[in-house]
Amino acid sequence: MKKSIIYVFSFFIALNIAAQEQVIDANLKVTGTILSRSDIYVGAHVEQTGLGNRIHLRGTASNTDQLWLAKFVRGTDLTDLRINIGDYSNGDRLVVGTTYPYYWREAFVVSALDNGRVGIGVSYPTSALDVNGEIRCNDLIRAKEVKIQIPDWSDFVFAKDYNLPSLSEVEKHIKEKQHLPDIPSEKEVKENGIDLGQMQAKLLQKIEELTLYVIELKKENESQNKLIEELRQEKTMR
């Protein structure tokens, strides 16, 4: 009977302890897995600015690079989530990806070198933002320099076998379609947007075609001026 009472008493004490918030002020070393059914808080509320308590990530003895997460308060309602990804060496990276199905696949990379180069679909970005794929944007993108790699350029216009449309053909197309040949219409642009690299190539194509038209017009003008001068001299000799 006494044992039963002790067991029941111990059971209720355990329930009471489990229901209370457990605060650990010393070090807690865990070699296994921590499972929690509720929130886990690191550190206490302190009225100060600066770096709060950090969550350090370890696991290998051969590498001493610091990996940690922490809350940083810059001022009233000014808060950072700071993630330290190493010691500013060439190879340290913040990597977001997926395990699919049995191997790790990188999706988003931030390099610790050169003030944090960002790569999307690029393992080792060489530019401030290095993207392998399509970019869609409904707002402003501001940059000092944008470099786009495209497979084709427009110098084919200067090839000998290029079929330069006549100005009358261009005029006819404009009257019928209300836009230049090979250039998307306003409706198409509003519905689908534009490929920036492809559009640059198309615009260059039109500039090169205009250059050829100007050269032809210059030749015609010189020919006409020569003919006019010949007629003027012929008239003077009479």
Q: What's the pLDDT score for residue 70?
A: 94
Over range 138-163, report the average pLDDT: 89
Q: Output the average pLDDT for the chain.
A: 85
User: Has residue 22 been placed in a domain?
Assistant: no
Q: What's the pLDDT score for residue 141?
A: 87
User: Has residue 129 been placed in a domain?
Assistant: yes
pLDDT at 168 over 60: yes
User: Has residue 143 been placed in a domain?
Assistant: yes
Single-letter residue type at 155 = D
Long-range CB contact pairs, 2-9, < 8 A, 24+: none
- If asked whether residues 128 and 171 sit together in one domain, one would say no
d(CA 65, CA 59): 11
Over range 49-60, report the average pLDDT: 87
Q: What is the largest CA-CA distance in the chain?
A: 147
Secondary structure class of 97 (helix, strand, coil): strand
Domains in the chain, number: 3
Q: What's the pLDDT score for residue 14?
A: 52
Neighbours of 93 (CB within 10 A): 19
- If asked whether residues 125 and 103 sit together in one domain, one would say yes
Total length of the chain: 238
- Report yes or no: 67 and 86 within 8 Å, Cβ to Cβ: yes
User: Has residue 11 been placed in a domain?
Assistant: no
Convert 55-66 to b/e letters by CB count within 10 Å (16 or more is b): eeeeeeeeeeee
User: Has residue 104 been placed in a domain?
Assistant: yes
User: Has residue 55 been placed in a domain?
Assistant: yes
- Report yes or no: 154 and 204 within 8 Å, Cβ to Cβ: yes
| pTM assigned to the model | 0.61
Structure tokens at 32: 């296994």
Q: Using pLDDT thresholds of 50, 70 and 90, give the confidence band for residue 6.
A: low
pLDDT in tens, 7-47: 544 544 554 555 556 667 777 777 888 888 888 888 888 88
Q: Higher model confidence: residue 132 or residue 22?
A: 132
One DSSP character per residue, 13-72 reads HHHHHHHSPP---S----SS----SS----S---S--EEEEEEE----SS----EEEEEE
Domain that holds residue 132: 88-147
Q: What are 75's strand-pairing partners?
A: 78
- Pairing relation of β-strands 67-75 and 78-85? antiparallel
- If asked whether residues 99 and 163 sit together in one domain, one would say no
- If asked whether residues 165 and 219 sit together in one domain, one would say yes
- Report yes or no: 98 and 105 within 8 Å, Cβ to Cβ: yes
Q: What's the pLDDT score for residue 12?
A: 46
Q: Using pLDDT thresholds of 50, 70 and 90, give the confidence band for residue 139.
A: confident
pLDDT at 115 over 80: no
pLDDT in tens, 173-224: 999 999 999 999 999 999 988 888 899 999 999 999 999 999 999 999 999 9
- If asked whether residues 69 and 104 sit together in one domain, one would say no
- If asked whether residues 93 and 133 sit together in one domain, one would say yes
**Which of 2-6, 80-84, 106-110, 151-155 bottoms out in mean pLDDT, i.e. has the lowest?**
2-6
User: Could you tell me which residues come within 8 angstroms of residue 181 by beta carbon, excluding any fewer than 6 positions away?
Assistant: 165, 169, 170, 173
User: Has residue 6 been placed in a domain?
Assistant: no
Question: Distance from CA of residue 68 to its chain's centroid?
Answer: 25
Secondary structure class of 83 (helix, strand, coil): strand
Q: To the nearest whole percent, how much of the chain has pLDDT over 90?
A: 41
Over range 64-71, report the average pLDDT: 90
